[in-house]
Structure 1
Amino acid sequence: MQRKTHKQSLPWHIIITMLLITSFITFGVFAWVYLVPNYEEIRVYSLDEVTTIFDHEKLEEIDVQIIDGTPYLSYTIMKELFDPYLHWDEGNQLLIMTTETQVIELKTEQLTAFFNSEPVDLEVPVRLIEETPYLPLEFFASYYSIKPRYVESTNTLIIESIGIPVQKGRVNVEEALVRLDAHIKEPIVARLNTNAEVDIIGQKGNWYQVQTREGIFGFVNKSDIQLAGIQMHKAAEEARHVPWKPLGGKINLTWEHVHRATPNPADIPLMPGVNVISPTWFYLKDADGNVSGSKASIDYVDWAHDQGIHVWALYDNQFDPDLTGEFLRNPEARKRSIRQLLGYAELYKLDGINIDFENVYYEDKDYLTQYVRELTPYLREQGLVVSIDVTILSSSPNWSMVYDRVAYADTVDYVMVMTYDEHWGSSPVAGSVASLPWVERGLQGVLQQVPKDKLILGVPFYTRVWKEEAQAVGSIKVSSRAVSMQLAWNIIEENNATVTFDDKAMQYYAEYFDGNDRYRIWLETVESMEERVKLVRKYDLAGIASWRRGFELPEIWETIQTFLEKQPKELVLED
């Protein structure tokens, strides 16, 4: 007979012991993973390459040189980070910086700079390293509202913007550990002693994200940091330039086209409402920067001032792109022209200069911008109002794309947008010089680049008489001539032309035939001028400028004055 066997179970005390051992192991692993701090230390900066931090952000691929403890940034980086208008003249090894009131010239490796042509001693020069210009950051700091600081121990350049508030913190324990991320298992990147100051740039759970004085980023437990208030670097008080404008009103400018000689003021009829006149007196004579001023007249200026009218003399480039390009690329020629303009302005007691450079090669765009930025501070220093004429936005390289309207708005006092020649003199198609819808669309485009308080609407006092001649091959030959408002009406009366209203152009339109040839005129009238002035009020522009005095009907001045001075509630402005 077979005996039964029974399987024996483990005693209960052995099971409990095994469970306790397992628990202790699990807890030990958990504690090691989550509770025991990591004391590994790592270095997060390089002693071989300079680390650059700008407003708590580490910048990559920044070309920095440290020379005798002084940080230098390459011209390209300075231009990219701080000043898009910095200009480097490679041929003359010359750096030019412009502000509202100063032109600063710095030659490489020289300890003398020129501020508006006056010499000033420097502590450190602009350097040329491997054909690349490097700029001493400390010199430019006040101009760009920054505070740079180089930390040798971490080979770090720290740049802080003036005027930006920063939350400060202070270590309130004997030693605070800065970790790579917000966890005690993260490696240590820095150790901070009691009262060490940090910038608090964020938070993550129970941790503050900080930047140390040495430029090290990391996380510190909140319990180790006491908030120390918000601080910011204060900029030096600096008076901002405020351009002249009529007291309580808008600018009402008219251009005086001076062909050979300035007109006798006694022959100029009253122009009620006009507060600025711009005679076309000055032009660029040659590529060396000589400026012709032979047409200017002190008697004319005295007459204008007696009438309470400011004089902003016009200065043009003869619309010659070759002459202009050669001139703009020569810094000495640019300086010569500035000196001569300043001399003319003082001699003739001018109130302003109106820059009218047209038909400039697109490849000279940056040089034209640079010239405007060099010319403006000198003119301002002499108390002159600076304005520049531009066209509406179009695809024409020489006549529109060449204008950096954004840069001009940052530089000059006023920008005149010439809203005319929709159909120019040699246009293959007859049409209005400035139809109202075309003008408003063009104005809206320029307003995307120029603030309304700097923009002046340029309007025409002229129109064109278009002649359409039928050709044997079935085509039409189109030609035109510009005429004044009054002459246009004389032609209409002499030829018994039919006058209707063009709903598309929002202007009166006249047409007549002479044999097989058709003549067409889109008229400038009191009514069309009224609508143009309403655009000034609708978009709250700085004013209006008319081309040109002598082409207007006498009643035009009253129309412009009335609608410029009317209060908004008195106007009917259509959308």
Structure 2
Amino acid sequence: MKKKSVPVFFVVAIIIISIVVLVVGNIIDKRTPSKKHASEEDIYKLYRLYDGYTEDGDKISFEGATKAADNQVAILLQNEIVSDRAFIDNGELYVDYEFVKNSLNNRFYWDNNENILIYTTPTDIVKAGVGSQEYYVTKAKKTAEYTIVKAEGSKVYVALDFVKNYSNIEYTLYDSPNRVCITNEWGVEENISTLKKDTKIRLDKSIKSDILYNCKSATEVVVLDKGKTWSEVITEDGFFGYVKTDSLRKQTTKTLQNDYVEPEYTNIQKDFTINMAWHMVTAQASNNQLMDLVTPAKGLNVIAPTWFRLSDNEGNMTSLADANYVTRAHMVGLEVWAVVDDQSADSDNKQIFSYTSKREKIINQLIASAIEYGIDGINVDFEYIAKENADDYIQFLRELSVKCRINGIVLSVDDKVPEASNSYYNIEEQGKTVDYVVMMGYDEHWGVDSGAGSVASLPWVTKGIENMVSKVSSTKVVLAVPFYTRIWEEDASGNVVSCASVDMTTAATTLANNGITPVWVDNVGQYYGEYPSGDNTVRIWLEDAKSIEEKLKLIGTYELAGVAEWRIGLENNELWNTIIKYTN
């Protein structure tokens, strides 16, 4: 009996049908959105609440991590997830001090030596210790409903509610997962849209990506990144991910606003152009030189004697203050802004300003002396601040400004010409805190290591002023000019072998005695002369009435508060005729 054969065409048809079914099935599968929801572990990873490791770098399971740290809270700052975490304790939310300082309010200050959290307002100094609900607003004792500061090892945490009391922030706490949404920038625009229908927010730009969140129709979202097919969005309660762009209605903008009122840092602003000369007082007898020095100084209205100096690492100072000096100065119409400096070899700023008690000691001495002697202002001249204690120095200025503001004492601070190397002095914050910022427009070239050159070339000073007024109101900026220059001697290879700081007359006389007529150099803004000395060359960039006048013109150009001079007694008396033209 013959076997029946299956027609070839039938076999081929079955194969074709199978292929079609497979292809169609793949197409349908590709176009069918995934209904799978993201796992809790994936969500925790997304919100940086779990990465598989402990803080010590040991591996840990998801179950172990969530059980050990179920109080951890993800932080979304201005709609962006950050690496820092908050935590909940007794119903209160705490954030790392460094996060507060760097992201929320840089006026919070932590004294690591004395374990004190400080916030300085224009009129008060607020202090809180570790593990306490009590805090002080200047001398008034207050009590919060929560522990304000917590410490865990080297980490310091601050209650976010306490931060909010003094900061322009808003926040909302959510759970599943624990997350806090913080807004700290206002007046900025956000791109807003609403969903056309019930929509799923997914982990990635694919319908096959896991679902993070089911959003109802008309839910408002912030559009973080709008693409042709997919857009990244975030909901008001901090769920972020991707939706199909065609699920969004027309995009609009919304300006973030709140009703927080920033504290006003009032400042003393004189109704005259500042013309201040520093008076170098090295002993009590130096105070007797006042009248001889200021009599030729036409238009001078402020004298700044170098009276106070840090003397040790405990916050003590030496003082050369003299009541008769103040009386005589006032009689001839001069205000007295006494200088405090850090020029002593017996003091180390790092050992002083990082201690709240030592800062207070210095401030109390300065204010007490100002009141006792009738001093009109304090001029801070700390030139040896290191980068690592820059925050401590700024905090000192904040605290000093409170006492000066309350007592009507003018506070000015001296700063080097702004450059990248000294940017940590934070002149922008200084400008908000003090009454006047004095830019010391000299020492462009200062000694053997700097190489020979001008003490204060016009382009260098001009650039310094431009940098200064970009960060500080020009009405607070005082330009300090040099009443001195330097005599440089170079060997045949151009190496500086000696450098001497001299007054204006000595510099000019030195050139004249060597038969040299100086020439004006336009691109420096000074007269220049040189002459041979054996195999060496002596070079001098003069400071005189013409070079100083070129710098004085900057007062009008940049609408500055005035001029200062280092130092009275080094000038030619005729120079005051030039200065008064720009300050009267």
| TM norm. shorter chain > 0.5 | yes
User: Aligned equivalents of 1:177 and 1:169: distance in 2?
Assistant: 15
User: Aligned equivalents of 1:513 and 1:229: distance in 2?
Assistant: 71
User: Aligned equivalents of 1:496 and 1:91: distance in 2?
Assistant: 59
Following superposition, the deviation at residue 129 of structure 1 comes to 1.8
Q: Structure 1 residues 192 and 294, CA, compared in 2 at 3 Å: closer, same or farther? A: same
Task: Give CA deviations for 1:494-516 in whole Å, capped at 9, x if unaligned.
Answer: x9663511456754568999999
Q: Structure 1 residues 92 and 306, CA, compared in 2 at 3 Å: closer, same or farther? A: same
Give the one of 344, 351, 356 matched to 1:326.
351
Read off the aligned partner of 1:157 and give its amino acid letter.
V
Q: Structure 1 residues 233 and 141, CA, compared in 2 at 3 Å: closer, same or farther? A: farther
Q: Is 1:53 aligned to 2:79, yes or no? A: no
Aligned position for 2:484: 462
Q: Is 1:139 aligned to 2:135, yes or no? A: no
Give the one of 557, 562, 565 matched to 1:543.
562
Q: What pairs up with 1:61-140 in 2 under 5 angstroms? A: 62-83=84-105, 86-98=108-120, 102-124=124-146, 125-140=148-163
Q: Is 1:234 aligned to 2:258, yes or no? A: yes
Q: What pairs up with 1:141-180 in 2 under 5 angstroms? A: 141-163=164-186, 164-169=188-193, 175-180=198-203
User: Aligned equivalents of 1:40 and 1:77: distance in 2?
Assistant: 36
User: Aligned equivalents of 2:79 and 2:296: distance in 1?
Assistant: 62
Read off the aligned partner of 1:529 and give its amino acid letter.
I
TM-score by length of 2: 0.74
Give the one of 303, 313, 317 matched to 1:277.
303
SS at structure 2 position matched to 1:123? coil
User: Aligned equivalents of 2:500 and 2:34: distance in 1?
Assistant: 86
Aligned position for 1:436: 457
Give 5+ residue unaligned stretches, structure 1. 1-7, 566-575
Q: Which entry has the higher C-alpha Rg, 1 or 2?
A: 1
User: Aligned equivalents of 1:481 and 1:42: distance in 2?
Assistant: 73
Following superposition, the deviation at residue 420 of structure 1 comes to 3.4
Task: Give CA deviations for 1:466-485 in whole Å, capped at 9, x if unaligned.
Answer: 8x899xxxx998575744x4
SS at structure 2 position matched to 1:335? helix
Aligned position for 1:192: 215
Following superposition, the deviation at residue 301 of structure 1 comes to 6.0
Following superposition, the deviation at residue 224 of structure 1 comes to 7.0
Q: Is 1:554 aligned to 2:573, yes or no? A: yes
Do the aligned residues in 2 keep the contact of 1:170 with 1:228 (CA within 8 Å)? no
Give the one of 498, 507, 514 matched to 2:515.
498
Q: Structure 1 residues 434 and 502, CA, compared in 2 at 3 Å: closer, same or farther? A: farther
SS at structure 1 position matched to 2:43? coil
Q: Which moved more, 1:78-87 or 1:141-150?
A: 78-87
Read off the aligned partner of 1:201 and give its amino acid letter.
L
User: Aligned equivalents of 1:19 and 1:293: distance in 2?
Assistant: 103
User: Aligned equivalents of 1:208 and 1:429: distance in 2?
Assistant: 55
Give the one of 206, 221, 224 matched to 1:201.
224
Do the aligned residues in 1 keep the contact of 2:455 with 2:486 (CA within 8 Å)? no
Aligned position for 1:5: none
SS at structure 2 position matched to 1:199? strand
Do the aligned residues in 2 keep the contact of 1:51 with 1:155 (CA within 8 Å)? yes
Read off the aligned partner of 1:527 and give its amino acid letter.
K
SS at structure 2 position matched to 1:289? coil
Give the one of 203, 211, 222 matched to 2:234.
211
Do the aligned residues in 2 keep the contact of 1:264 with 1:300 (CA within 8 Å)? no
User: Aligned equivalents of 2:535 and 2:231: distance in 1?
Assistant: 87
Give the one of 30, 35, 43 matched to 1:33.
30
Do the aligned residues in 1 keep the contact of 2:279 with 2:306 (CA within 8 Å)? yes
Aligned position for 2:313: 287
Q: Percent identity?
A: 27
Task: Give CA deviations for 1:194-221 in whole Å, capped at 9, x if unaligned.
Answer: 6654434343346654322432113445
User: Aligned equivalents of 1:429 and 1:64: distance in 2?
Assistant: 48
SS at structure 2 position matched to 1:72? strand
| Aligned residue pairs, count | 540
SS at structure 1 position matched to 2:571? coil
Q: Which moved more, 1:513-522 or 1:315-324?
A: 513-522
Task: Give CA deviations for 1:312-334 in whole Å, capped at 9, x if unaligned.
Answer: 32111243363544333432111
User: Aligned equivalents of 1:185 and 1:511: distance in 2?
Assistant: 80
User: Aligned equivalents of 2:498 and 2:253: distance in 1?
Assistant: 74
Do the aligned residues in 1 keep the contact of 2:199 with 2:247 (CA within 8 Å)? no
Q: Which moved more, 1:91-100 or 1:149-158?
A: 91-100
Give the one of 317, 330, 337 matched to 1:312.
337
Do the aligned residues in 2 keep the contact of 1:417 with 1:458 (CA within 8 Å)? yes
Do the aligned residues in 1 keep the contact of 2:265 with 2:433 (CA within 8 Å)? no
Aligned position for 1:571: none
Q: Is 1:358 aligned to 2:352, yes or no? A: no
Q: Structure 1 residues 131 and 423, CA, compared in 2 at 3 Å: closer, same or farther? A: closer
Task: Give CA deviations for 1:110-148 in whole Å, capped at 9, x if unaligned.
Answer: 222233454332233200123421111221135442222
Do the aligned residues in 2 keep the contact of 1:422 with 1:435 (CA within 8 Å)? yes
Q: Structure 1 residues 238 and 557, CA, compared in 2 at 3 Å: closer, same or farther? A: same
Q: Structure 1 residues 18 and 142, CA, compared in 2 at 3 Å: closer, same or farther? A: same
Task: Give CA deviations for 1:326-381 in whole Å, capped at 9, x if unaligned.
Answer: 33343211111112222333444544321112345676555434433433343334
RMSD: 4.8
Read off the aligned partner of 1:549 and give its amino acid letter.
I
Q: Structure 1 residues 561 and 235, CA, compared in 2 at 3 Å: closer, same or farther? A: farther
User: Aligned equivalents of 2:308 and 2:465: distance in 1?
Assistant: 31
Aligned position for 2:277: 254
TM-score by length of 1: 0.75
Task: Give CA deviations for 1:252-287 in whole Å, capped at 9, x if unaligned.
Answer: 322233342534876542644434332323333443
Do the aligned residues in 2 keep the contact of 1:320 with 1:360 (CA within 8 Å)? no
Do the aligned residues in 2 keep the contact of 1:431 with 1:522 (CA within 8 Å)? no
Do the aligned residues in 1 keep the contact of 2:134 with 2:144 (CA within 8 Å)? yes
Give 5+ residue unaligned stretches, structure 2. 1-6, 45-65
Do the aligned residues in 2 keep the contact of 1:420 with 1:439 (CA within 8 Å)? no
Q: Is 1:420 aligned to 2:442, yes or no? A: yes
SS at structure 1 position matched to 2:156? strand
Task: Give CA deviations for 1:55-80 in whole Å, capped at 9, x if unaligned.
Answer: 111223x2422212322122233333
Read off the aligned partner of 1:93 and give its amino acid letter.
N
Do the aligned residues in 2 keep the contact of 1:154 with 1:214 (CA within 8 Å)? no
Do the aligned residues in 2 keep the contact of 1:286 with 1:323 (CA within 8 Å)? yes
Do the aligned residues in 2 keep the contact of 1:388 with 1:414 (CA within 8 Å)? yes
Do the aligned residues in 1 keep the contact of 2:169 with 2:183 (CA within 8 Å)? yes
Read off the aligned partner of 2:43 and give its amino acid letter.
Y
SS at structure 2 position matched to 1:50? strand
Q: Structure 1 residues 286 and 564, CA, compared in 2 at 3 Å: closer, same or farther? A: same
